[in-house]
Amino acid sequence: NAGVTQTPKFQVLKTGQSMTLQCAQDMNHNSMYWYRQDPGMGLRLIYYSASEGTTDKGEVPNGYNVSRLNKREFSLRLESAAPSQTSVYFCATEVGGLRDGYTFGSGTRLTVV
């Protein structure tokens, strides 16, 4: 039982390049989230998906797109990476109702040069 799996763990991009961060869960959770973690800023919500087939913007969606491919997978895409997107990205899931809180992935450390 892997829980929440994020790939890749590390990535270096050049400004303007694109990439997709993958998140997959085997917990049968309904809701999935993408956060970015920056020093002094805490975790900020980028996008979320309350259920398969739905996605919504969070606090900092600019420069990102998401896809909820199915119940298991929720990907985050950077179409044209910028240095301001250098961050650690976390995927999180929850069964619904927040009764067990979030389950987090191990994170993707992205550097844009």
Name the residues that contact another protein, by CB under 8 A.
31, 33, 35, 40-45, 48, 50, 56, 58, 90, 92, 94, 96-98, 100-102, 104-107
Comparing CB distances to another protein, the nearer of 17 and 30 is: 30
Q: Are residues 25 and 103 in contact, defined by beta-carbon separation less than 8 angstroms?
A: yes
Dump the DSSP string for 94-112. E-STTTT--EE---EEEEE
Q: Which is nearer to another protein, 85 or 94 (CB)?
A: 94
Residue closer to another protein, measured from CB, 81 or 102: 102
Q: Are 68 and 55 in contact (CB under 8 A)?
A: yes
